[in-house]
Amino acid sequence: MSAMLLNKQKWTEFTGILSGKKVLAPVACGDRFRYAVPAEGKAFSLDFDRPLVPPKSAVFPQTETLYRFQLGKTELAAPQPGEELILLGVRPCDARAIKLVEKLFRWDVDDPYYLRRRELTTVVGLACLEPGLNCFCPSLGGGPASTEGLDLLMVDLGDSYYLEPLTDKGRSLMDLASGLLEEAGEEGLQKKEEAVRRAEEKIRRTVDTDGVPEILPDLWEHPLWQKTAAGCLGCGTCTYLCPTCHCFDIQDEIEGFEARRCRMWDSCMFEEYTLHTSGHNPRPTRRERTRNRINHKYSYFVRKFNVIACVGCGRCVNYCPVNIDLIETLREVKEAQ
């Protein structure tokens, strides 16, 4: 199937076709958007900015039960994700991030939980025609209509959506709605390209990542980390809202004789991150912890997987309560060279 157009007047019908499946879409919570199951029978729109929590949480939940067990018994019960999921309205940066995080979960062992969820999920992207103030995705190889990690890309053309299938999953989703779609044709393609070009022009902030992975190891003891850390509160906002941060902790949670082993997001900004049983902590202060955040994204991940683990979504810049600005930090890294 080639690119098609969906008239916006048919949007409610389109969401009706999806109603038998589990759908996560951006839902307004106050003035911020979150991925959630839209209220039953209620039409939802794709008129949103950038959701607060990245959609990685759909495939890598903040808290995930790995298995349940009972004290004194040896059987384990491991839940398996089994439900198909359609992730609707995913920003191209966030889709790229899901692809990046996947590298880790495919690394030394294939992580069954993540990979199973990924397999069951259809990612439907929506191009960013109104990029945010802190968006800098082109600096990291993305773009407002980047298709990496997406099964289907939608572009808002005003009175209709342009639908471009990218994988078999995307194609089968479009097949379901084929009665509602019309050929996009050459005119549709041109309109789409024009819209994307205008969006690219709206992106203001840039980062020069050239050479950063190579410079970082030499700046290990550089005063810039102390400077960055001085204002840091040590909260997990930047890491929890980051679409590529993937550190997790594993804990047993026990209630009476029932227990479960869970995996939950962890943050290198926290004091107990990498705290050893002995009481020793290789990252004892915020200087080491802020340094770790940048190094992990822009150096360690690059060495291991040959790609920077940042997609330029700008959330960490936007939501840091004390204006620690990743773009500034990277500029300082370049200048310190």
Note whether 256 binds other proteins by CB under 8 A: no
Structural Rg of the chain based on CA atoms: 21
In the complex, what is the shortest distance from the CB of residue 147 to other proteins, in angstroms, rounded to a whole number?
Answer: 27
Number of neighbours of residue 2 by Cβ within 10 angstroms = 12
Distance CA 46, CA 313 (A): 18
Considering only 72-80, 81-89, 147-155, 230-238, which stretch makes contact with other proteins by CB under 8 A? 230-238
Distance CA 275, CA 66 (A): 23
Q: Which of residues 25-84 bind other proteins (CB under 8 A)?
A: 29-32, 34, 52-53, 62-63
Distance CA 114, CA 18 (A): 23
Distance CA 225, CA 1 (A): 51
Note whether 204 binds other proteins by CB under 8 A: yes
Given a contact cutoff of 8 angstroms between Cβ atoms, the answer to whether 169 and 151 are in contact is yes
Distance CA 125, CA 127 (A): 6
Q: Which of 285, 300, 305, 334 binds other proteins (CB under 8 A)?
A: 285
DSSP string, 86-109: EEEEE-HHHHHHHHHHHHHHTSSS
Site pattern 145..174 for other proteins (x: CB under 8 A): ------------------------------
Q: Which of 13, 230, 258, 336 binds other proteins (CB under 8 A)?
A: 230
Note whether 328 binds other proteins by CB under 8 A: yes
Token readout for 235 is 């909260």
In the complex, what is the shortest distance from the CB of residue 66 to other proteins, in angstroms, rounded to a whole number?
Answer: 12
Note whether 223 binds other proteins by CB under 8 A: no
Q: Do the bridges between strand 4-7 and strand 76-77 make them parallel or antiparallel, or are there none, so unpaired?
A: unpaired
Q: Which of 251, 257, 258, 336 binds other proteins (CB under 8 A)?
A: 251
Distance CA 248, CA 270 (A): 12
**Closest CB to other proteins among residues 37, 322:** 322
Note whether 253 binds other proteins by CB under 8 A: yes
**Closest CB to other proteins among residues 122, 237:** 237
Distance CA 220, CA 238 (A): 21
Measured on CA atoms in the order 196, 200, 203, 204, is the torsion positive or negative? negative
Q: Which of 91, 117, 191, 286 binds other proteins (CB under 8 A)?
A: 286
**Closest CB to other proteins among residues 31, 108:** 31
Q: Which of 234, 257, 258, 337 binds other proteins (CB under 8 A)?
A: 234
**Closest CB to other proteins among residues 111, 332:** 332
Type of residue at 283: R
In the complex, what is the shortest distance from the CB of residue 159 to other proteins, in angstroms, rounded to a whole number?
Answer: 26
Token readout for 205 is 């902030």
Q: Which residues bind other proteins (CB under 8 A)?
A: 29-32, 34, 52-53, 62-63, 133-134, 204-205, 227, 230-231, 233-237, 240-241, 249, 251, 253, 262, 264-265, 267, 270-272, 284-286, 317, 319, 321-325, 327-328
